[in-house]
Amino acid sequence: MTGAVSAQMPNPALHLNGEKPSRTKEQKEYDKEIDRAYQSATKKIPEQKKSDPWGDIRSASPAAAAKNKQQ
């Protein structure tokens, strides 16, 4: 009886104890480069103004309408 016994052999990519394999120095440097590139890209995005989808339908803000009723 011959056959593959890979099901009985531990999978090197599977860690049952929850530990992650340690990263090499090159991998850590690469991660830092990716993080720096991400940070610089997000800083280039202009600040978005808040949009009011119902702004065209409303005549005035509720606070302004309440002030007008009191006067």
User: How confident is residue 1, by pLDDT bands cut at 50, 70 and 90?
Assistant: low
What number is the average pLDDT over the span 41-64?
78
More confident site: 51 or 38 = 38
Which helix (H) or strand (E) segment holds residue 29: the answer is helix 25-43
Q: Is residue 53 very low, low, confident or very high in pLDDT (cuts 50, 70, 90)? A: confident
Residues 30, 23: contact at Cβ < 8 Å? no
CA–CA–CA angle 18, 30, 27 (5° rounding): 40
Name, in order, each residue with C-beta under 8 angstroms of 52's C-beta and a sequence gap of 6 or more: 58
Q: How confident is the model at residue 61 (pLDDT cuts 50, 70, 90)?
A: low
Measuring CA to CA, how many Å separate 43 from each of 14, 36, 46, 58? 37, 11, 8, 34
